[in-house]
């Protein structure tokens, strides 16, 4: 933890975001940052299809998920998980990354359905809550399964 805060408060952006690391806290920080960009893509596409195109939220969510998954994968490969930490080929890695993401999508859809239909939340509020929960699942699963 001391190493994480030392790096974070150094304000050395290359060290914070680009230098390869196995520090789990720094990787999670980077993953959350990358996830922010992926979330913007996901939520933007969700809002577009749900609010403007008027597709049902359970149809809009998987479309948005694909955009978020792609952004997350590409940025995670660049900034979070180093290539040396993976024992898989690029195609296998993306497939496993996608499977973990699909599990996250199913979790998102169940959480959204419960919060929207039973708790009465607006779909976007349900999506925000689900995103926070699934962020932790995605990071831990990808770190344990793909990037040991």
In a domain, 62, yes or no: yes
Dist CA 125 CA 66 (whole Å): 20
The answer to whether 146 touches 96, Cβ cutoff 8 Å, is: yes
Q: What is the pLDDT of residues 37-68, one digit of tens each?
A: 998 998 899 999 999 999 988 899 889 988 98
Is 5 inside any structural domain?
Answer: no
Containing structural domain, residue 45? 20-145
Work out how many domains the chain is built from and give that number: 1
- For the cut 70, the answer to whether the pLDDT of residue 23 exceeds it is yes
Q: Do the domain assignments include residue 119?
A: yes
- The per-residue pLDDT for 13 is 76
State the Rg of the chain over Cα: 16
Q: Which two tokens stand for residue 56?
A: 């049902």
Evaluate whether residue 43 is within a structural domain: yes
Tokens 């195609």, residue located: 91
Judged on CB neighbours under 10 Å (0-12, 13-18, 19+), 82 is middle
39: in domain: yes
More confident call, 61 vs 116:
116
Asked whether residue 103 is domain-assigned, the answer is: yes
Task: Enter the tokens of residue 108.
Answer: 């998102």
SS3 assignment, position 86? strand
Residue at 120 is within a domain: yes
Give the closest residue to 36 by CA, choosing from 3, 78, 76, 66: 76
Helix 123-145 and helix 90-113: axis angle, to 10°?
150
pLDDT digits (tens, 9 = 90+) for 68-103: 888 988 888 888 876 655 666 777 888 888 899 889
Q: What tokens were used for 130?
A: 């689900």
Q: Is residue 89 part of a domain?
A: yes
Alpha-carbon distance 39 to 56, whole Å?
A: 19
């Amino acid at each position: 933890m001391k190493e994480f805060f030392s790096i974070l408060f150094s304000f050395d952006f290359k060290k914070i975001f680009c230098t390869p690391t196995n520090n789990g806290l720094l990787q999670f920080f980077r993953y959350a940052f990358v996830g922010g960009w992926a979330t913007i893509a996901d939520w933007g596409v969700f809002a577009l299809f749900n609010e403007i195109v008027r597709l049902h939220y359970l149809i809009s969510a998987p479309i948005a998920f694909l955009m978020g998954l792609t952004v997350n994968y590409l940025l995670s490969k660049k900034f979070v998980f180093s290539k040396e930490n993976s024992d898989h080929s690029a195609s296998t890695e993306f497939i496993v990354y996608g499977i973990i993401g699909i599990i996250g999508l199913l979790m998102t859809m169940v959480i959204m359905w419960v919060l929207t239909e039973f708790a009465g939340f607006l779909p976007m509020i349900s999506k925000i809550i689900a995103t926070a929960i699934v962020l932790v699942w995605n990071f831990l699963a990808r770190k344990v399964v793909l990037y040991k």
